[in-house]
Amino acid sequence: MVNVKVNLEKRSYNIHIDVSTSNLIGNFMQTMKVNKKILVISDTAVGNLYGIQMVELLIKDGFIAELYCVPPGEHSKNLDVAMELYTKAITLELDRNCAIVALGGGVIGDLSGFVAATYLRGVPFIQIPTSLLAQVDSSVGGKVAVNHPMGKNLIGAFYQPRMVLIDINFLSTLPNRELYTGLAEVIKYGMIADKKFFTYLCDHSRQILDKRPDVLTEIVRRSCEIKAWVVEQDECESSIRAILNFGHTIGHAIEADTNFSVYNHGEAVAIGMYGAALISNHLGMCSKATVDVLKHILLQFNLPVYAPECGIEDLFKLLYRDKKVLDNKITWVLLNDIGEVNLCNQVPENIVKLALAEIT
Ligand code: NAD
Ligand code: ZN
């Protein structure tokens, strides 16, 4: 078993990573010192695959566990569904020491975390992420949220889990497109913090796409380590945490411009990372060779680097609508080299538009 510790001022927690960790759910829950009653939240797809078995394991270990499933997909991440979950928690008479467990992808993690943060002003929360994106990104770091009709993740909190339990076996049933989505964030970690890890990804691309468990364990471990390292320095996103946004400035604009219906998050971020690399190159910060290496690995992992449906002017306007824009200034995460980024909020408009022209 591989452990990554997230050391935070108020409370630290462990991320346990291995194949078959979920079989040990009862043992892990016993170490949490929580009440016997547990609400496991999932979506119907993941719940049918793993939820029933998980609840049975918990019951076998003496817990009173219930599974509640919501429809899969982003449209479940809203206040109406959160209300359904509060009703379930109240009906089950969950008290402040009862745990809420999120079993699913990032949608379930964000939604359940939001409910755990707000129900009775906060109850113990455990993340069991099942998509690659959730394992390497959304389950670590404590951002929880639901969407508002006027924008994604607008209603939320910083609320850290007590534990993250990652079972690499879950990835065996993950659809390929969802695997590639998660790989975009994995590539991002190499680009922002670790050239050696980036090289590892390039050298093991075949094994990664074949879902070899030992290689997946290694990429999840290193990704969690990098995310934990960033979050430890800046839990509430006031400074360095912004580097996690590499590729996201253009990525969010692409998602919005295509009504969240053409590219999923990782695909939009892949195009956004290529765009940010092009901007860096045009500013003389990184070489063309660095841009090409990034492009090559994105294509190898079946990720797009162009968004032909998008227009330059539309994208440019949308860049300024991102909720991370402050005082009408975009904080760009730009590349010096693979593994080394810089924050920059003064990129000339013509350079941005030049890069947008190259990716559309
Ligand atoms: P998701 O939760 O919708 O999961 C994607 C799909 O994969 C779903 O249909 C799900 O049913 C299915 N699935 C998940 N695990 C599976 C498995 N093991 N086997 C078979 N099918 C499986 O989406 P996601 O990509 O995991 O997460 C996206 C969400 O995460 C977005 O809402 C985004 O805002 C959020 N997010 C949050 C953070 C954060 O820091 N909190 C970071 C990044 C993304
Ligand atoms: Zn992302």
Domains of the chain and CATH, by start: 2-172 (3.40.50.1970), 176-359 (1.20.1090.10)
What does residue 342 show for φ and ψ, rounded to 5 degrees? -135, 145
DSSP assignment, residue 33?
T
Question: Residue 324: pLDDT above 90?
Answer: no
Q: Which long-range contacts (CB under 8 A, 24 or more apart) does 199-207 make?
A: 201/297, 202/293, 202/297, 202/300, 205/297, 205/300, 205/301
Question: Identity (one letter) of the amino acid at 300?
Answer: Q
Residue 135 in contact with ligand 1 by CB distance below 6 A? no
Ligand 1 atom 42 nearest Cα:
138
ipTM of the complex: 0.99
Residue 43 in contact with ligand 1 by CB distance below 6 A? yes
Catalytic residues: 121, 143, 185, 227, 237, 241, 245, 248, 252, 265
Beta bridge partners of 68: 41
Residue 74 in contact with ligand 1 by CB distance below 6 A? yes
pLDDT digits (tens, 9 = 90+) for 158-202: 999 999 999 999 999 999 999 999 999 999 999 999 999 999 999
Q: Tokens standing for 77?
A: 């991440």
Ligand 1 binding pocket mutation candidate from 44, 78, 110 (most atoms within 8 A of CB): 110
Burial classification of residue 170, based on how many CB atoms lie within 10 Å of its CB (0-12 exposed, 13-18 middle, 19 or more buried)? buried
User: What local confidence, expressed as pLDDT, does residue 10 receive?
Assistant: 83
User: What local confidence, expressed as pLDDT, does residue 236 receive?
Assistant: 84
pLDDT digits (tens, 9 = 90+) for 25-44: 999 999 988 999 999 999 99
Ligand 1 binding pocket mutation candidate from 69, 108, 133, 177 (most atoms within 8 A of CB): 133
Average pLDDT along the chain:
96
Starting from the CA of residue 179, give the closest ligand: 1
Residue 178 in contact with ligand 1 by CB distance below 6 A? yes
User: What local confidence, expressed as pLDDT, does residue 323 receive?
Assistant: 74
Question: Residue 321: pLDDT above 90?
Answer: no
